[in-house]
A and B are shown apart, each in its own frame.
Chain A
Amino acid sequence: MLFKRSLLALAALFMLGAALPVMGQTSLPESCGVVRLQYWNPFTGPDGPFMGEMVEAFNAANPNIQVTMTTQSEYYTQLSTAAASNSLPDIAIVHADQIATQVYRNILRPIDSIVAESGINGEDFPEAVWNAGEVDGMRYAVPLDIHPMTMFVNMDLLASVGAEAAPKTGEEFAAVAAALTGDGNNGFMITAGFPIRQIFEMLMYQFGGTSFNEDGTEATWNSEAGVQAAQWLLDAQAAYSEPNLEVDAELNSFKGGTVGMIWNGIWQTTNVTGEGVFFTGIATAVPQIGPSPAVWAGSHQLALPVRADEDPCRDTAAGIFIGYLLDNSVTWSRAGQLPASSVVRASEEFAEVQPQFDIAMGSADYVFFPPSVPGITDAYGPLDEAIGALMSGNATDIQAELNNAAERANSILEQNRATYGTN
């Protein structure tokens, strides 16, 4: 472990000199004067101040570009109403699975030339996360971060059964979870609500399945891999967890100190590790249960909204700002995110950000995203319900549930193709 990490650090050091200053090369022409930019994001949580810090640092370093950051809740509703009143910001954060929908709703505009101008290179990012910013062959967004499914471990409980490290494989996981379960403790806890569908998807990808076909016209979760994944969840629930739990129940139990391991988004790190708990809670990469590595993840991407008053000065300035955020995404990673850029993730600076660095090693290259078609998130509704029904015991026939959900998702996808004219 130690050897592996120092090797990685060495590799990072080696790459640092060669690769880091690739982005943010252009500068703003003098004729532009001082450009003021509006930047919106949905970071209402403890992550907001980290982003604010980056914006302030950027403003200080670039006197001729002044960025004002606004954090919005009910984010996509805000974007919609701003679009209707033609008051969208210059730069906006958009989630990877929302990009196509926001493109088709006339909220985002293509940024191929701006990306090219600011020297941002697709090869510096994992393919899946880079492709998520592309719709119909045009680029609309560049990835800032990756927020993967993460395993949180109560190391004190693990130590009590003689486990020294968090499990990395299915067998290790099963052994630890089984040893911990009993005496009022649960080795592993899963709910029947969010993020159970995301966990299901992750396992299905590990077993070789996919959620949709490549062009996003058909749901494909009613496959053998899908059944295997759901069966694994039900078995794990029966063996280690309590049945039929509501949303967040696993987090609350984990904080109570009676649960060995839980899986939730990396954004829960400050909530259930470190100062947030009275025991040694750590965050680490999820173990690989199936034969191929796969990790569910979301991604915040930077995009330029449609504006009536587009002008080249603002576009160049926005490109410089985006390049700066990507270059400095180590600061952002401290908020509990993984930098999307592989170059930044390989940097020496990031190697010191823990546990993000370790999680990144075990997950960043294995993330997957839904196909970039508008309204794709709608099609997850039936799958959410099917997995929820199975996990809460309201349904028992896995294949029938997945078939029914796929059928309903297919009609939703068909309806979306008609709605968005993508037939």
Chain B
Amino acid sequence: MTTANPVLKTSAASAKRRFDWVPYLFILPHLMFFAVFAGFPFFLGLVISLFEYDFLRPEATRFVGALNYTNLFTSTSVEFPVFWNALGNTFEFVLISVPLLVVIPLGLALLLNINLAGKNVYRAIYFAPWVLSSAVVGLLGFWIFQSQGGLLNYYLKDLGWFTPRWLSSMPWAWYAILIVTVWWTSGFNMIIILAALQNIPATLYESASIDGANSWQRFVYITIPMLRPVLVFIVIITIIASFNLFAQPLFMTNGGGPAQSGGGGATEPIMIRIYNESFVRNRMGSGAAMSFVVAGIMMVISYFNFRIFRTRE
């Protein structure tokens, strides 16, 4: 079999000189799709962000250099207040939602990992919301939280409890969006953690028990370290998913959410702002620049994520 592998066959020196096609052939199918559907649009987006651009008005397309970017950092520009408001909102959502979306699924996974009658039914119940589309979840959220005859306030009122204006006042609008998001996506994270839990060898727990470790010690010294790679993955994809918040505010708080002084809605996420800039105001260059600033921020966050988790090992 080794003869089929040219890398092993040749010496280290000649391997450097001779270009080896085989590994590239293996990734070629993916590379083709990546190049067409991710690489090329990424490059084109970068180009568009340097232009004033509207695909229906080729006559008006003109090169503006970094203007679309500098606008985002100039406090007197049209884009400045709305862009940073939306980005701030999104950060706030990420900061609050990500810990919840890691801790709650972890707890659920631990509970469902014990031998429990009908645990598959519970797993299915917790996972079920994930199969709904974002539009369905957003509309359900609206009809549960809306103030005039919405399900939640209807019962809260019957109980004589406080009935906040969930969708039109702060911070309640965020709580409503957060509750819906946790309900919707926890199941997905739970399933991944559950799979990882089942991969931890039972012998580790057995020997720890023999050494006299209690259940808390077994959790902290065996479960968490064994889950670390999966938790890194969960944290990163959850940060990205929370950054991409779009449909919940779109349906529940009508895009912007409670209006506030000075520009932008209180629950307007950055993705809705980018969409509006690009396809409602038809300023696609400026929208592309916003996208790249956000993409840059996400890359920096992912980098630190990997570093923090790596240094612990």
Contacts and interface: CB of A to CB of B under 8 A. Distances in A.
Interface in B237-261: 253-254, 256, 258-261
Interface string A371-394: 000010010001011111101101
Contacts, number: 104
B174 to A, nearest CB: 14
A325 to B, nearest CB: 27
Most A CB within 10 A of own CB, among B168, B170, B258, B279: B168
Contacts of A415: 78
B146 A244 contact: no
A247 B251 CA distance: 11
Interface string A222-245: 000000000000000000000011
B9 interface: no
Nearest to A374: B282
Q: Describe A's contact surface by its main secondary structure.
A: helix
A113 interface: no
Given A77-B279, A83-B56, A245 B262 contact: no
Contacts of A192: 168, 258-259
Interface stretch (A104-112, A119-127, A169-177, A316-324): A104-112
A22 B171 CA distance: 59
A395 B168 contact: no
A388 B262 CA distance: 11
A256 interface: yes
Given A192-B168, A375-B281, A412-B78, A389 B259 contact: yes
Contacts of A349: none
B265 to A, nearest CB: 7
Interface in A183-201: 191-194
A416 to B, nearest CB: 8
Q: Describe B's contact surface by its main secondary structure.
A: loop
Size class of the contact patch on chain B:
35 or more
Contacts of A401: 261
Contacts of B148: 245, 249-250, 252-253, 256
Interface string B252-295: 01101011111111100000000000011111000000000000
B137 to A, nearest CB: 18
B18 to A, nearest CB: 47
Contact of B258 (A84, A394, A419): A394
A383 to B, nearest CB: 10
A421 interface: yes
A385 B52 contact: no
A404 interface: yes
Interface in A76-114: 77, 80, 83-84, 101, 104-107
A246 interface: yes
B165 A105 contact: no
Nearest to A248: B146
Interface in B43-62: 52, 54-57, 60
18 contacts: A101-B282, A106-B56, A107-B56, A192-B258, A192-B259, A246-B167, A249-B168, A252-B146, A375-B281, A378-B281, A382-B263, A385-B263, A388-B256, A394-B170, A394-B260, A408-B78, A412-B78, A421-B60
Interface of B: 52, 54-57, 60, 77-78, 81, 146-149, 165, 167-170, 253-254, 256, 258-266, 279-283
Which 5 pairs across A and B sit closest by C-beta, in order of nearness? A388-B259, A246-B168, A252-B148, A395-B261, A246-B167
